[in-house]
Amino acid sequence: MKLLLSTAMGALVLAAARPAQALVPTPAPTDTIVVKLPNKAVMTLVVHDAQQLRQLPLYHLDSLVARLSGYIKRADAAAKIAETDRLTTVFHPDRDQPGQQLPEEIRITTRKPGPGSYGPSNKIEVLLEKKLGVVINTDGNTNSQPRAAGRADRLAQRDSLRQARWEHKSSSTDLVFDLGLNALVNQPGGAGRPELRTLGSRYVNVGFDHQQRLGGRRSPLYLILGPEFAFNNYMLEGNNKWVNQNGQTSVALETSGRQFQKTKLATSTFTVPLMLQLSLHDRHGNTALRLGAGGFVGYRLGSWTKLKYFEEGTTYKDKDYGSYNLTDWQYGLQGVLGYRSLTFFAKYNLNNLFRDGQGPQAQTLSFGVRIFGN
């Protein structure tokens, strides 16, 4: 086969070297040259002009055939264990060994043997440059007209391309948006203990998370970094309110007869997460399982209380900004667990919500659903 390829290439280059007036113009934007080999394999060369024909010897097609042997063995091994009848495997020799005039892309489509096989013939597609390709059909079909790809072939090619993109994409930055609830934990018993309204104590987090792959191009392990902005609401149950007096923050019952609709303490925090995340993909190249764990550090940007009540036919909203003796620097543990498009998160503050001796002793636990982002 090596001798036949060399002979065919020589004939093609000689044809390209003839004067331009001897060439028969074709209306199509590309020229197709079909070489039928003795073993009934068909090699099709797709070029755009004579100049590309003259460049073919630069790619050493005889050594290319030898290189294809290893790729075909890997593609056949993958096809035997694939769940579909057809499988397309994509290789990028020029990326793996740059500067050696290797093909940009080699795409091998194989099918399982047997009476149930369907779709187009087994084929090898070699992309030497973006506009120059070689197609070799290997199933013995000598018809020079390619058959239309079946649905299974299209799906296999899509999955192969998706897998190749995942392997070569070592890092990414994604917008994340988390929505959840807050709870106060590790509180001692007794009077003055804050009781939060569950659905009113909301947690919102928005930011940009950068993912950096650790290890080789098939490694599922990533390092996750921020920045993020978190907003925590702590809404009290009943007719209680947050009070800041004499350097102390506490919870007090309203005694004036005013009935509160909302009494909450809110904070805004700049945080930087640092996590290790395991991202596993299914056979179609989609992320199937995400499992991440790590920590975070942050700084409180602002805090305020908000009272909402109805009095004499009018609704009032009183907002008061202040530190409320809240801890400025915050740190803790966090984790994510996701399956396909559904991801849950949890964050646990190791620091107390208030400074020691200046407010109720409690730590924050936030949990919920990641609306979008990895």
Residues 122 and 255 in one domain: no
Average pLDDT of the chain, as a whole number: 79
- What tokens appear for 169 in the block? 């994409």
DSSP 8-state symbol, 57: G
Residues 213 and 317 in one domain: yes
- At 206-223, the pLDDT tens digits run 999 999 999 888 899 999
C-alpha to C-alpha distance for 38 and 52, rounded to whole angstroms: 26
Residues 177 and 157 in one domain: no
pLDDT band at 9 (very low <50, low <70, confident <90, very high): very low
Residues 232 and 346 in one domain: yes
pLDDT band at 374 (very low <50, low <70, confident <90, very high): confident
Give the number of other CB atoms < 10 A from CB of residue 10: 12
Mean pLDDT of 90-119: 70
Mean pLDDT of 100-105: 75
**Per-residue pLDDT for 369 more than 70?**
yes
Residues 267 and 364 in one domain: yes
Q: Pick from 167, 193, 218: which residue ends a domain?
A: 167
Residues 202 and 161 in one domain: no
Amino acid 251: pLDDT: 95
**Per-residue pLDDT for 319 more than 50?**
yes
CA distances from 272 to 63, 203, 210, 264, 299 (A): 52, 16, 11, 25, 9
Residues 148 and 176 in one domain: no
| % of the chain beyond a pLDDT of 90 | 45
Which carries the bigger pLDDT value, residue 2 or residue 137?
A: 137
DSSP 8-state symbol, 1: -
Amino acid 35: pLDDT: 73
Q: How many structural domains are present in the chain?
A: 2
Amino acid 79: pLDDT: 75
Residues 6 or more apart whose Cβ sits within 8 Å of residue 347: 296, 332, 333, 334, 364, 365, 366, 367
**Residue 253 structural domain:** 169-372
Residues 265 and 129 in one domain: no
- At 224-281, the pLDDT tens digits run 999 999 999 999 999 999 999 999 999 999 988 889 999 999 999 999 999 999 999 8
C-alpha to C-alpha distance for 311 and 318, rounded to whole angstroms: 13
